[in-house]
Structure 1
C-alpha cells in the first residue's frame, strides 16, 4: 500500500505537465565558457530542422565577427530587431513582438543571460524567452555555466570575477533538453590565440585573467557536473513516471535565513544547491526583528528584498515572520515546515560581540534538536542595482525636535542647579541631570537620549565639578557619574525604542489582518462582479492611499476597466475612465501571461502602475493595478497586495460562477419550458388538424355524394377546429410577447358590454351545448384599457369554463362596478377546483388534475389572463362556488364615479355564485 502511494503521481506535477504540453520546447546549448562553439552548434541544428520542414527563424544571434558562424546564418530567416533609444543612442534588441506576430515554429535566441536595454519590455532576455515559450514557440538558446544563478558565487571563487548577468535555476530546470558543448582547454586557448573568440587585444587580456587553464578546467567540471545532475534528474523522473522501483530519497526541506547581510545571497545559493542535491524543497525565512540596535535603512531594505527575490527565482518558498529572537523564530518555522536541514553563515564579527550577545551558530546548534545544521563560509558581494525596490518605514535619521527638547530640558536643569548650588549637593545635582535623560529616552528613544546624556555630562563637568568652568576632572570618582549617565540613556533609550518598534510592527500587522478581514467580510455576501470590483479598488485604495484600478475581461476577451479608485477624489470614485494606452498595454500583457509586471518589477518597469494578475487555479480572471509613480512600496504593502489580489480573484471567480449557474438555471428552465410547450402544442394542435384533414378529405371524396346537412356539419367541424387552432396560436404568441417583454398595451376607451359581447361571438358554436347567461350592470363607465387583450381574457375564461362544465349546464358572465374598479366574473357549474390546484391555477403550463373530467389544453390560457390583467394594474383570482363549479373574477381599475363599497375576494354570494356588488 505504501509503495502504491509513493507511485501515485503528484497532482501539482500533473498540472505542471499539462501546462507544459501547451508550451514551446526549450533547448539550451550549454558551455563552460565563451568560444566553445555553442552558437555554431545551435545554427547547425537549426539548419537540420529547416531541412525537415520546420519553420525556423533567427530572433537574435551574436556572431562576434566569426567567419564560420556568419556562414551558418546565411539561409536562415531573420526577424528584424527592435530599435530603442537610450541616452541619445539607438540600440537594437530582439524584436519579441515581431516574433509573436510571425510565430515561427522554432526561434533562435543567443546569449540567454543578456540584460536588455532600458525601455525594453523585460529587464532580462530569459524573460523574453519565457514569453515565447508561453506562446507555444520552440526556442534554441545558448548559455555559459557561469551565468547560472546558483553557481554564481562558486564561479566567483574559482575565477575571481563576479558575473553580473545570471539566469535563475528554475528557468534552466524547465528546459526540455540541455546539450553540453565541450572542447579541451588546449583547443579553446588555441582558438583564443587565433582570434576566433575575441579580437587580439581582448584575447590577450582574457588569457591572463578568465581563460587560464585552471579556470577552464574548473568551469568544465562545473558544466559536466551540472549536466550529469540534469541527466540523473531526468532518469529519476522517468523511473517515477514509469513506476520503476528505485532508491527514492526521503522528502525533506532545506531552510536558510535571509537577512540584509551582504553575505546572504551566497547562503541562499548554497541552500539551493544543497536542496537540489538532496532532492528536497527549499525554504527561505526572513525574521523581522524590532530589537535591532540600528534601524534598517533603505539600502538594507532593498538588499533584503533582492535576497528574497533571489530565493524565489531559485525556486524557494518565502516565509516572513516577526520576533525578537531569531533562533527561536527559525526553529518555530523549522518545526512547522518539517525542515530537515538549516544553512547558516559562519560568523564574521568579533569575539567581543559574541561574548556580549552570544553566538548565533551556537544557539542554533543547541536548539536544532534533530535538524542538521550546515555552516557556510561566505564573503561579501558587490552591490547591484535592482528594478525592485522597497520604501523606508523609518523617520529621518536626524530628528531635530527631540534633540532640541532634550537640550532645553538640560538647560532648565542646569539653570535650576546653578541657582540653588549653595543649597544642593553635587549628588542631588547629578540626580537632577538624570531627569532629562530619562524623559528623553522614554519619550523620543535612543539617539536623542544619547545627545542629552552627553550634554548633561558636559554641563555637570563644566559648572559643578572642580575645577569649575573647565572640562578637567580632578576627582576620578566623577567619571562613574558620567558613565552612569551614559549607561542609563543607553539602556532606557534602547529598550524604549525597541518597544516602540514592536508596537509599530504589531499595529501594522493588526491593520493588515483587519483590512483583510474587513475586505473578506464585505465581499463574502456579494455575488455581483461589478460590486465586487468597486469594493476591492475602494478598499485597497483607502488602505494604501494610492490610485487603484481593476480590469476584467469582456465577452470578446479584451480587458476593460471595471472599477477605478482615485485617492484625491472626495469619494474616491473616478468612474470607469480608460487607462492610458501604455498602461493598458501593460495590463493586457499581465492578462495574457499571468505574471506581475509594471513599476517595481523587471517586466515593463517604465509603467506608472504595478499590475498584479488575479489568478485562480492557474487561470487569470482579472488584473489589478496600483499606481506607484515615483513612490516606493514596503514589503508589508507588497505582501498585503498579493493577499488582497488572491481574495479578489476568488470573489470575482465566485461571482462569475454564480452568474454562470444562474444562466445555466435559466437555460434549464428554458429547456423545460420548450419541452412543455412542444408537448402541449403538439397535443393541442394534433386533434383539430386531424379533424380538419378528415373533414376536408371527406368533402373532396368525389365517389360519395353527401347530403347538405352532412356537408354543413363537416364545414362546421372545419370552422370550429380552425377556431380552436387560432386560439392556441394566439395564446402562444401572447406568451412569447409576455416572456420577451414586448407586450405593449394599446390604451383606448372600452365598453365592458362590447368586450363581453365580442368575446361571446368569438366563441361561436362552442357555447351551443351550454346555457349562457350574462348579467351586465347598466350605466357601467368606460374603461381606459386595451380592448382586444381584455376580450382575449374573457374568451380564455369562457373557454376554460366550457372545458370543465358538462353539456347543458349554465355559464354566467357578470360585470358591475364597485368603487374604483369594474369586476367581471365567469361562473360555471362544473367539477370545481381542488385546494392544491387553486394556488397554482394561474401558473404557466399548469393544468388542473380533475378526476371527473379529462380535457385537452396547453395550460397557457389562465397564465396569459393573469399577465394581461396585471399589466392593466388589475387583479384576478379564482374560487370554488359552494353550489358547485368555479368562479373566475378579474377587477380592472377605472376613475371613481361614485361612492360604492369595495368588493373583496371573500364577498361573494354563496347561494347563486354571483357577485354581491354592495347594498
Structure 2
C-alpha cells in the first residue's frame, strides 16, 4: 500500500460494473413488483440501491446516478407514467424525499470511504514505523539500515528523495566525505540545505514555519541531543503543502527521528564502551603498579642488603659467606626478572592485534630446555637454599611438531615449574608432554591435542581458588599464608595469568586439575596442526 496522501482514486471499471449491476437489479425488481406493492415501498428499493451503489462510486458519480435513478423512477412508476409530470403533491414529496435520501446516502458513503482509506493509511504507516523500529533495535550498526530508510521515504513521494547520514561525528565544516549520501546527486543548494538542516536540527520548508518559500521539505534525523543526518523530500509542482500532506510530513519526520535516535544510541554505546575500556586499562595499570610497588620492594631490599654487605664487610667475610650473599643476589635478581617478564608479557598479549613469532618446534626440545635451565638455576642456589624437590621430565614418543612461539612456551613452562617449586612442599616435580583427546563436550570433543603439564604432590589449590587462580593479581590461600618457616612467599600474582595469556594466544587453554592422590597438575592444552614434511625432516635426527 502506498504511504503517500494522494487524492482518492477514480472508480475502476470493475467498480462501475458492480454499481451498474446494482441499479439494473434494483430496477428489475421494481418492475417485477410494480402493481404488487405500493409506490412508497418501491421507492425504498431505489434508496437501498443508491446506498449499495455508492460504495463503489465516488461522491459525484453517486449523486449523478441517484439523480438519474430518481428521474427514471418518476418516468416509469409515478403517474402519469412515461412522463415527468406529477399529478399528486404526495408523489412530488416522495420524489423529493427519495432524491434527498439518495444524496445524503452518497455523501455518507463517500465520507465513510475516505475515513476507511485514511484509517488504512494510518494503519500502514504505524506498521511501517513499528517494523522500522524493530529493524533498528535488532541491528548493531544503524548506518547499515540507511538504504531501508531511504526506501521508506522514497515510497512517500513520487519524486526521488535525497538522504544524508553522518558516518561518525559532525565535522566542523561541511565535508561530503563525512556523510553517507543516498539518492540522486544533490546540487550545491540542496547539499547546503541538508547540512544546514543537520546542524540546526530543525525542519525547513512549507508548513514547518521556516523557509516556507522552499519547494521541498528538509527533515533532520534528530536524536535527543543532536541530529545525525537530514532528508530532502520534494513537493509537487507549486511547492505548497496541502492539508492532506501534513500527516505525510509528520510520518516522514517520525521515520527520520527513529533513525536519528538509533544513531545516537550507537554513538552513546561506543562512547560508553570506550570509557569502560579506558577504565579497565587504568584499573589494570593501577593494579600492576600497586603489585610492583609492593612485590618488588622485598627483592630489591635483599639485593641491596647483600650487595652492601659484600661492599662494606668484604675483608671480614669468608668464602662461604660471600657465596651465600652472591647466591642471594642471584636469586632475588632472578625473581625480579621473572616478575618483570610475566608483567610485560601479560600486558603485551592482552593488547589487541598481537602477533607471535611462530615456527615449528619440538615438544621434546622445549621440555628439555626448560628442564636444563631450571636445574642450572637450582644448582647455582643450592648453597644458599638446598633444593629438596627433584625435577624430571617425560615426553611421549613420536609427538607431532608444535606451531608456536618457542620463547613464550618456554616462559610458560618456566612459570609452572617455578610455581611448583614454591608451593609443591618439596615433592617431586614432573614436566610431562603427551597427546590426549579434548574432554569438553562440543564440536571439538575427542580431537587430539598436545598437553604440556607440570605436576607435583604438594597441597594443591583450595577449591575456592580454583576458578580464580589464572586471573591477574590473584594469589591463592597457599601463597598468602607464607612458608612454614614464617617467611613470605613473594609474587605479584601474574605468573599463572601470563601462562593463560600465552596459551590463549596459541589458540589453546590453561587448566588446573587436582590429582587423585594429592597434588596439582597445571596443564596447557594446545591444538594440533598438520606440519609440513620439511619441518619434520628438519627436527628428525
TM score, norm. by length of structure 2: 0.75
Structure 2: distance between partners of 1:425 and 1:739: 98
Which residue of structure 2 lines up, in the alignment, with residue 611 of structure 1? 219
Structure 2 residue corresponding to 1:792, chosen from 377, 393, 411: 411
How far apart are the structure 1 equivalents of 2:161 and 2:274? Answer: 34
Could you tell me whether the CA contact under 8 Å between 1:596 and 1:613 is conserved in 2? no
Write the deviation string for residues 105-128 of structure 1: whole angstroms up to 9, x where unpaired: xxxxxxxxxxxxxxxxxxxxxxxx
Q: Distance in 2 between matches of 1:743 and 1:457?
A: 91
The match for 2:512 is 878
User: Partner of 1:622 in structure 2?
Assistant: 228
Q: 1-side partners of 2:427 and 2:26: how far apart?
A: 121
Question: Do the aligned partners of residues 642 and 434 (structure 1) sit closer, same or farther apart at CA in structure 2, a change above 3 Å counting?
Answer: closer
Query: 1:227-284, CA deviations, whole angstroms, 9 ceiling, x for partnerless residues?
Result: xxxxxxxxxxxxxxxxxxxxxxxxxxxxxxxxxxxxxxxxxxxxxxxxxxxxxxxxxx
From 346, 364, 377, the equivalent of 1:765 is 377
Q: Is the 8 A contact 2:431 2:452 kept in 1?
A: yes
Q: Distance in 1 between matches of 2:155 and 2:199?
A: 28
Tell me the equivalent position of 2:57.
444
Unaligned runs of 5+ in 2: 438-447, 532-541
For 2:30 and 2:525, locate their aligned partners in 1 and report how far apart those are by CA, in whole Å: 104
Structure 2 vs 1, CA of residues 440 and 761 (structure 1 numbering), >3 Å: closer, same or farther? same
Compute the displacement of 1:674 (Å).
Answer: 0.9
* Contact persistence 1:561–1:579 (CA under 8 A): no
Aligned to 2:356, which of 725, 745, 748? 745
Residues 432, 706 of structure 1: alpha-carbon distance in 2 compared, 3 angstrom cutoff: closer
SS in 1 for 2:403: strand
Rate the CA distance shift 1:775–1:422 in 2: closer, same or farther, 3 A: closer
1:584 paired with 2:191, answer yes
- Of 248, 251, 257 in structure 2, the residue corresponding to residue 640 of structure 1 is 251
Tell me the residue number matched to 1:827: 455
1:892 matches 2:526: yes
- For the residues of structure 2 that align with 1:778 and 1:541, how far apart are their CA atoms? 70
User: Aligned partners of 1:672 and 1:811: how far apart in 2?
Assistant: 36
Q: Which residue does the alignment assign to 1:810? A: 428
Contact 2:59 2:107 in 1 (8 A): yes
Q: In the alignment, is the contact (CA less than 8 A) between 1:586 and 1:607 conserved in 2?
A: no
Q: 1:669 to 1:541 in 2, by over 3 A?
A: farther
Q: 1:257-268 residue pairs with structure 2 within 5 A?
A: none
Q: Is the 1:752–1:782 Cα contact (8 Å) retained in structure 2? A: yes
From the superposition, tell whether residues 787 and 392 of structure 1 become closer, same or farther in structure 2 (CA, over 3 Å): closer
Between the aligned partners of 2:464 and 2:30, the Cα distance in structure 1 is 104
* Correspondence for 1:189: none
Task: Give the drift of 1:451.
Answer: 1.0
User: Residues of 1 paired with 2:166 and 2:460: CA distance?
Assistant: 57
Question: Which residue number in structure 2 is paired with residue 453 of structure 1?
Answer: 66
Aligned mates of 1:403, 1:848 — CA distance in 2: 86
**Closer, same or farther in 2 for the Cα pair 1:775/1:454, shift >3 Å?**
closer
Q: Confirm whether residue 551 of structure 1 aligns to residue 165 of structure 2.
A: yes
What is the rounded CA distance, in whole Å, between the counterparts of 1:416 and 1:879 in structure 2?
A: 97
Identify if the C-alpha distance between structure 1 residues 430 and 556 changes in structure 2 by more than 3 Å, giving closer, same or farther: closer
More contact order relative to length (CA 8 Å, sep ≥ 6): 2
TM-score by length of 1: 0.47
Deviations 1:534-561 (A, max 9, x none): 7766666667787473623734645777
Following TM superposition, by how much is the alpha carbon of 1:486 offset from its aligned partner in structure 2, in angstroms?
A: 0.6
Structure 1 residues 626, 748: CA separation in 2 closer, same or farther (over 3 Å shift)? same
Q: Secondary structure at the match of 1:740?
A: coil
Cα deviation for residue 433 of structure 1 reads: 5.3
Partner of 1:838: 466
Q: Distance in 2 between matches of 1:839 and 1:683?
A: 25
- Residue 776 of structure 1 aligns with which residue? 395
User: How far 1:877 sits from its partner (Å)?
Assistant: 1.3
- CA contact 1:553–1:621 (8 Å) conserved in 2: no
Structure in which a larger fraction of residues adopt helix: 2
Cα shift readout 1:192-239 (whole Å, capped 9, x = no counterpart)? xxxxxxxxxxxxxxxxxxxxxxxxxxxxxxxxxxxxxxxxxxxxxxxx
Cα shift at 1:420: 8.1
Matches within 5 A, 1:290-689: 393-395=6-8, 408=20, 412=24, 427=39, 436-444=49-57, 446-461=59-74, 471-473=84-86, 478-520=91-133, 523=136, 529-530=142-143, 547=161, 549=163, 551-552=165-166, 554-555=168-169, 557=171, 581-598=188-205, 601=208, 602-603=210-211, 606=214, 610-616=218-224, 619-630=225-236, 634-689=245-300
Asked if 2 retains the 8 angstrom alpha-carbon contact of 1:598 and 1:604, the reply is: yes
Q: 1:425 to 1:532 in 2, by over 3 A?
A: closer
* Aligned 8 A contact 1:527 1:654 in 2: no
Cα 1:712–1:535, aligned 2, differ >3 Å: closer, same or farther? farther
Distance in 2 (CA, whole Å) between partners of 1:442 and 1:894 is 77
CA contact (8 A) 1:512 1:640 kept: yes
List per-residue Cα deviations over 1:856-879 (Å, max 9, x = no partner). 222222122223223333333112
SS for the counterpart of 1:670 is helix
| Deviations 1:140-191, CA, capped at 9 Å, x for gaps | xxxxxxxxxxxxxxxxxxxxxxxxxxxxxxxxxxxxxxxxxxxxxxxxxxxx
Q: Which residue of 1 aligns with 2:502?
A: 868
Secondary structure class of the residue paired with 2:220: strand
Deviation per residue, 1:821-852 (Å, 9 max, x gap): 33332122333200011111112222112235
Q: Distance in 2 between matches of 1:812 and 1:738?
A: 27
SS across alignment from 1:746: coil
Q: How many residues align?
A: 493
* Aligned-residue CA RMSD (Å): 4.2
Find the aligned partners of 1:895 and 1:404 in 2 and give their Cα distance. Answer: 77
Deviations 1:652-694 (A, max 9, x none): 4444333333333222222211111111223333333334444
- Map 1:276-291 → 2, pairs under 5 A: none
User: How big is the shift at 1:771?
Assistant: 1.9
The 1-side partners of 2:396 and 2:23 are apart by 108
Provide the secondary structure at the position in 2 that maps to 1:878. Answer: strand
